[in-house]
Structure 1
Amino acid sequence: MNTAMECILYLAVLILLAVPLGTYIGKVMNGEPVFLSKVILPIENATYRMLKIEKEEQMTAKKYSISVILFSVFSFLVLFLLHLLQGVLPLNPESLPGTSWHLAFNNTSSFVTNTNWQSYSGESTLSYFTQMLGLTVQNFASAAVGIAVLFALIRGFIKVKETGLGSFWVDTTRTILYILLPLSLVISIALVSQGVIQNFSSYQTVTLVQPVTLQDGTKITQEVVPQGPAASQIAIKQLGTNGGGYMGTNSAHPLENPTPFSNLIEMLSILLIPAALCFTFGRNVKDKRQGVAIFLAMFILLCSALAVIAASESGASPQLAQNGAVNVSSVGQAGGNMEGKETRFGIAASSTWAAFTTAASNGSVNSMHDSYTPLGGMIPMLLMQLGEVVFGGVGCGLYGMIGFAILAVFIAGLMVGRTPEYLGKKIEPYEMRMAVLVCLATPVAILIGSGLAAALPQTVQSLSNKGAHGFSEILYAYSSAGGNNGSAFAGFNANTVFGNVSIGLIMLFVRFVPMLATLAIAGSLVQKKRVAVSAGTLPTHNAMFVGLLIFVVLLIGALSFFPALALGPIAEYFQMLG
């Protein structure tokens, strides 16, 4: 009961914060005045003058797409060079050398695509300079790109017989200045107040309160404590659904997430903007019911996933319960799987974080997903495999779900023999082809990547677990890359040439193919006339459509991944039962 009440509280607070934020974001992206305008508008206009950006420019879908690609290529090159050259760059008190080319490629692909998959430990691999100027900057930039593309799609729905989708440069600037920077500043200060580090000090060597003796008799009396500008990166990693850990153990590390309150702040930050964008969508298409319908579909899927994870982790497995042995969680519950979880967070906060972070394509973790029960670990995997549409990444999650909505109205249109419509625009073959790309890019990339990896002997040899769980580790890694998530089961050594290159290519493919397909849909819709609502028009704001949308999302996920899941977590579940 305590676990359920705690999970319900997290969800309730999320909704209370998301609704007003959604209104604020809608005003910002429309250029309407907001309470921060007096402070930020002069900075915004100065940015346009300095970069020679035309504030009122209306880009075609092609020009908008080219701008996205050019911006991302520039970001890629800068971040790639920072990785290779960090050994000779400043703010490197630990004198860390540059990374290998394949790790640089992987990590650059990861942060440019808003995935933040990491096959290394941040505190032992990257300098302060690379973490700040490289990773933190990309956390802002990649998140802004996703939101910008979403608003190009929204304009495709609301404009009639035009060609312009707005300016990519204006959309990106407004997103960073009005949304991401102010929220990150507030969250950073809140995290520092809880003990999250933010400094440029060298790493500190401290004496252990209680020495540790290893199996070989070696006695450990000292430990190195990493330092650095962590809070500023952690704030945007959560708000931008980036998720990369400043430390190798991510938000389970006491210097990244020291208290229950910091845990609450970070966990709510993960879903805050993706949830708010649903209400922004309804506001900006001038029908709030549409945004509520999308939100409800996502929310129902999230709550269902959270319920399964929490139930699986709260119940003791046969192995834990044998001979009367049970765990006691930090909230006093008898039973439950506490392996891999921080006792200061317990099962409820760990399960909720696991659901939030994989639903939002965030990827930060406060517990070890590899140690979850088979079903408890399968649900986070499935949330990523659905295509990051259960809220998903900032911007990209919502335009991914809109792709599924277009598919849903097309299926409904086939049933009644009528050309499908969505938000007053006819959905014709071109939009359908692009929507299929949006919906199927993720499963295709995940299945091909994990299949190739599982077939290689060196991959199997690198696993710390064999059998069904070992396969789950491979499947989770490629699901994380394909779902733009970044979390990991661990147990799979991905820091190899094949692992880094294959995962990097998948991240680039799954980020930009759906993104460009979305812009193609927007470019087609913006030129169309609005269709009047008639008796044959499918309502897309009622309970029936919400149910149909959920069905389509689950149908594609089930058809695509059930065979793979049956070989991994499902097989492991039955093995656990004996």
Structure 2
Amino acid sequence: MEILQMAVVVAVVILLVKPLGTYVYHVFSNEPNWTDRIFGPVERLLYKWIGLKKRNGMTWKTYTLSFLLTNVVLVAVSYIILRVQTGLPFNPNGIGNMEQSLAFNTVISFITNTNLQHYSGETGLTYFSQMAVIMMMMFTSAATGFSVAIAFVRGLTSKGQTIGNFFEDFVKAHTRIFLPFAFVITLVLVALQVPQTLDPTLSVTTLEGAVQHIAIGPVASLESIKHLGTNGGGFMGANSAHPFENPNPLTNVIEIVSMWALPAALPYTFGLFAKNKKQGWVIFSAMMCLFLVFLATAYASEKAGTPLIHSLGADASQGSMEGKETRFGIAQSALFTAVTTAATTGSVDNMHDTLTPLGGMVPMAEMMLNVVFGGKGVGLVNMLMYAILAVFICGLMVGRTPEFLGRKIEPKEMKLIAVAILAHPFIILVPTALAMAIDAGSSAITNPGFHGISQVLYEYTSSAANNGSGFEGLADNTAFWNVSTGLVMLFGRYISMIAMLAVAGSLVRKQPVPETLGTFRTNNALFTGLLAGTVILIGALTFLPAIALGPVAEHLTMR
């Protein structure tokens, strides 16, 4: 029955891939289609308002500069709001201003689509801050990632054209994808008893006569974009484990599908841009194969439970239920864990710090690879980066200049891809070693031993992958952790984005190479295996020693 629950959700997502991927293609293809009739009038008003008279295509440098400057402005405004929030409207609970290092961490976290929270949402932010900063950046950061992914796809697939106009892509991502979808999902969540109000915290008297304060607020609207935009930041500190954010198994499934559907559909969109649907299904298949392995590992580990509990003679027939909600159980908890880190969302419906060692290794490994569907657009971009690398390796093996989608892959592109690939483990492993070596970092560890290593490693992995979930046993609301994870989030977001846009800018200018008998095909089952194998090989070479010191060592000592 539990396996059937997970299989049904996976099947629903697979069924959504084609219609959703086609819709996204219509949104960003810049070809006349039915979506123009619905959204065109509103968008023309927005273009006029922002002064975008001509929507000419941009070079990769102009596109990059446009999205970076947009993000800088949003960060500056958001930081000011958090620092003076106590004097702004919609603060019925009298919440004070946010401390400067925490405000820095928070604005960086949300503009990078990470949503790492070193604060508790219901006590750290006013309603105005939740809406004007958190929800605003949930939309804009997701739209930025989506736009960059589409620009990269255009660079790979268009013939002698530009990679598009950032501001046009940015507006369309809001008007045609995130705003309408979020509106519908918000209404569904409200119908399923998720709160949506501006009333202050409720004060109720219990049967024992004690006064209890119950936090409420505009929860449903935040939940919708939190998952659609693969953001992850919870209105409540307990995130989607809180009954107001995620009251029942149906809302749990809705949240899983919300954060998974768009990343899963993007490979199909890529296939439509490439005029080769098989190419899109190859990318999707590689992602899904990796995901199913991780999901099976997480479920089996949590279902088997902890060996130490078994050795004590306790009844562990239900598996490891520590840190999990009984209304979800093992299956939906394991599925949520696998999806939220595969899609780099960071939302949680169970406490990852209490997962079994191998169960906790699954979300960590998914974020280390950062290609198993990934966040809004980033997962597709990273997987295409590995696809180009796989083609390059195969080309070297047969002594032929590698080609991908009819474009020759030359040293310039490979250098940029190498930068993106090597930067990810560098910004995870170096800060982890530093944090373990100095007191400012190691003092935050609440569980000494191998699990303490996992806590630190998970925090920086989550930051670098722009995921935002954490082994929340780590006492991370300090200046050291706020600043260090803030910098890792910045590097994790923008290094790969800039490098991949540079690759797109280089490839879009190249003349297509005609296909011959010697052309290595990249739209068949063989390439699916090669692509998945390349991802695993690179991941193992870079992260296996760290994994061995953390969750693997903890698992072995528990036996």
Return the TM-score normalized by structure 1: 0.95
Could you say which residue in structure 1 is the equivalent of 2:73?
74
Match of 1:167 among 165, 168, 171: 165
Secondary structure in 1 aligned to 2:210? strand
Residue identity matched to 1:113: T
Q: Does the alignment pair 1:25 with 2:24?
A: yes
Could you say which residue in structure 2 is the equivalent of 1:262?
251
Could you say which residue in structure 2 is the equivalent of 1:346?
329
Q: Distance in 1 between matches of 2:314 and 2:34?
A: 57
Could you say which residue in structure 2 is the equivalent of 1:248?
237
Match of 1:195 among 193, 196, 203: 193
Conserved in 1, the CA contact under 8 Å of 2:441 and 2:480? no
> How far did residue 397 of structure 1 move?
1.0
Q: Distance in 2 between matches of 1:158 and 1:566?
A: 40
Residue identity matched to 1:158: T
Q: Distance in 1 between matches of 2:504 and 2:203?
A: 55
Q: Does the alignment pair 1:451 with 2:451?
A: no
Match of 2:528 among 540, 543, 546: 546
> What does 1:368-447 correspond to in 2, within 5 Å?
368-386=351-369, 388-447=370-429
Could you say which residue in structure 2 is the equivalent of 1:180?
178
Conserved in 1, the CA contact under 8 Å of 2:26 and 2:35? no
Secondary structure in 2 aligned to 1:224? strand
Could you say which residue in structure 2 is the equivalent of 1:207?
205
> How far did residue 464 of structure 1 move?
1.4
Q: Distance in 1 between matches of 2:158 and 2:464?
A: 32
Q: Distance in 2 between matches of 1:326 and 1:14?
A: 35
Conserved in 2, the CA contact under 8 Å of 1:403 and 1:436? no
Could you say which residue in structure 2 is the equivalent of 1:320?
309
Match of 1:468 among 450, 456, 463: 450
Match of 2:215 among 226, 229, 232: 226
Q: Distance in 2 between matches of 1:56 and 1:176?
A: 17
Match of 2:299 among 284, 291, 310: 310
Deviations along 1:326-349, one digit per CA (max 9) or x if unpaired, are 24xxxxxx3300000000000000
> What does 1:33-48 correspond to in 2, within 5 Å?
36-48=35-47
Q: Distance in 2 between matches of 1:55 and 1:549?
A: 40
Could you say which residue in structure 1 is the equivalent of 2:340?
357
Q: Distance in 2 between matches of 1:317 and 1:66?
A: 50
> How far did residue 437 of structure 1 move?
2.1
Match of 1:529 among 502, 511, 516: 511
Could you say which residue in structure 2 is the equivalent of 1:331?
none
Residue identity matched to 2:221: S
CA, structure 1 residues 33+349, in 2 after alignment: closer, same or farther (shift >3 Å)?
farther
Could you say which residue in structure 1 is the equivalent of 2:459?
477
**Which structure 2 segments of 5+ residues have no match?**
none
Could you say which residue in structure 1 is the equivalent of 2:84?
85
Deviations along 1:31-78, one digit per CA (max 9) or x if unpaired, are 345555433210011111111114531101110011011011111111
> How far did residue 113 of structure 1 move?
0.4
Conserved in 2, the CA contact under 8 Å of 1:117 and 1:481? yes
Conserved in 1, the CA contact under 8 Å of 2:434 and 2:441? no
Q: Distance in 2 between matches of 1:458 and 1:233?
A: 33
Q: Distance in 2 between matches of 1:385 and 1:239?
A: 22
**Which structure 1 segments of 5+ residues have no match?**
212-219, 328-333
Deviations along 1:504-524, one digit per CA (max 9) or x if unpaired, are 000001100100011101110
Deviations along 1:257-296, one digit per CA (max 9) or x if unpaired, are 0111111100111111100111111011110011100000
Conserved in 2, the CA contact under 8 Å of 1:481 and 1:506? yes
Could you say which residue in structure 1 is the equivalent of 2:5?
6
> How far did residue 171 of structure 1 move?
0.4
Secondary structure in 1 aligned to 2:320? coil
Secondary structure in 2 aligned to 1:93? coil
Could you say which residue in structure 1 is the equivalent of 2:143?
144
Conserved in 2, the CA contact under 8 Å of 1:404 and 1:552? yes
Q: Distance in 1 between matches of 2:273 and 2:30?
A: 12
Q: Distance in 1 between matches of 2:519 and 2:326?
A: 53
Q: Does the alignment pair 1:366 with 2:364?
A: no
Q: Distance in 2 between matches of 1:453 and 1:238?
A: 31
Q: Distance in 2 between matches of 1:316 and 1:493?
A: 26
Deviations along 1:59-111, one digit per CA (max 9) or x if unpaired, are 01110011011011111111111111101111111111111110011011100
Conserved in 2, the CA contact under 8 Å of 1:24 and 1:34? no
Could you say which residue in structure 1 is the equivalent of 2:494?
512
Q: Distance in 2 between matches of 1:155 and 1:473?
A: 39
Could you say which residue in structure 2 is the equivalent of 1:273?
262
Secondary structure in 1 aligned to 2:204? strand
Conserved in 2, the CA contact under 8 Å of 1:326 and 1:336? no
Could you say which residue in structure 2 is the equivalent of 1:337?
320
> How far did residue 325 of structure 1 move?
1.8
> How far did residue 543 of structure 1 move?
1.1
CA, structure 1 residues 159+318, in 2 after alignment: closer, same or farther (shift >3 Å)?
closer
Q: Distance in 2 between matches of 1:255 and 1:534?
A: 59
Could you say which residue in structure 1 is the equivalent of 2:126?
127
> How far did residue 155 of structure 1 move?
1.5
Secondary structure in 1 aligned to 2:84? helix
Q: Distance in 1 between matches of 2:255 and 2:542?
A: 32
Q: Distance in 2 between matches of 1:533 and 1:543?
A: 19
Deviations along 1:122-153, one digit per CA (max 9) or x if unpaired, are 00100111110101011110111111111111
Match of 2:549 among 538, 551, 567: 567
Q: Distance in 1 between matches of 2:38 and 2:531?
A: 41
Conserved in 1, the CA contact under 8 Å of 2:440 and 2:480? no
Could you say which residue in structure 2 is the equivalent of 1:216?
none
Secondary structure in 2 aligned to 1:462? coil
Q: Distance in 2 between matches of 1:253 and 1:223?
A: 16
> How far did residue 491 of structure 1 move?
1.2
Could you say which residue in structure 2 is the equivalent of 1:63?
62
Q: Distance in 2 between matches of 1:34 and 1:468?
A: 55
Q: Distance in 2 between matches of 1:39 and 1:300?
A: 37
Q: Distance in 1 between matches of 2:278 and 2:305?
A: 42
Q: Distance in 1 between matches of 2:3 and 2:266?
A: 26
Q: Does the alignment pair 1:112 with 2:94?
A: no
> How far did residue 538 of structure 1 move?
1.1
> How far did residue 18 of structure 1 move?
2.2
RMSD over equivalenced CA pairs, Å: 1.3
Aligned residues: 559
